[in-house]
Amino acid sequence: MKHEHPNKQRMEEIRAALDAHPGSVAYRRWDTLRRSLTALYGNLGELQGLLLAPTTNFLLAAQLAGNMHLHVQRRFTDELDRRLLNFGSSAHALVDISRRIVGLYEGTAFLDEYEERRQPLSCDAPRFLRDLRNFLQHYSVAPLRYQIELPTGQPPHRFNLDLDRDALLRWDGWSSGVRRYLETGPEYVPILEHVADYAAKVRSLYDWVMAQFVVLHTDDVEAANVLVTDYNRALTGREDWERENLSRFHPEADPEVASHLGDRDQPPSAYPASR
């Protein structure tokens, strides 16, 4: 037989108040932002790790740049396609979620500074990566070029993993600024440099953004935590225990003790020394 918690109604009242509390609402919003940012950082780490692998692994670099290891090239290229798409999707998601959440602070110094700090991510180079996601989703796979250089004829080597600019420009979906950026840029676009630049800029911005939650909502969260404490006290029965013990041990509640206390307005010396 299922037993109902004796404080069920009290707990439901507290939970309803907690769910609607400004501190809880703010926490849920910013946790959405945190989770979106975590997804982006994870995808960025995977993408950068793959792009860096041939720069330190001479055998892999030679296999990718040569024409005798097509199975290695295929596996690497397939994995790079996956990671580029994952990165691009999470970057777009972060932009949309940030716009929704940060936009709620219209008219505040926080929003003004956010708009100023995000400007480096609005330049054509970072925007190229965001547009690249649309290219990959709606037009074609990444037009990759692998090239190995041996300045002294032997390792250490230099490995270039680039995107063919002319192949990219066959798509008419680039934003006007990015198209101009591609048209005036090098014939081969160094993807690793773009990803590293984007990673540095996004971390700089969001390290600051996430630190602002405490500045903006400390009072709200502290007030919400009072309700959390109340809920836990009701859940564990501590409220009932405290109420029972206050009633049990309060002097006025015990007639025998009260009879020996006399007039409460008398100074302590008027109390009997012993019974």
Give the pLDDT of residue 140: 96
Give the pLDDT of residue 153: 65
Please tell me the distance from the alpha carbon of residue 146 to that of residue 77, in angstroms, as a whole number.
10
Residues 6+ apart with CB under 8 A from 228: 18
Give the pLDDT of residue 161: 95
Give the pLDDT of residue 274: 39
Give the pLDDT of residue 245: 54
| pLDDT < 50 stretches in the chain | 246-275
Give the pLDDT of residue 100: 95
Please tell me the distance from the alpha carbon of residue 47 to that of residue 86, in angstroms, as a whole number.
9
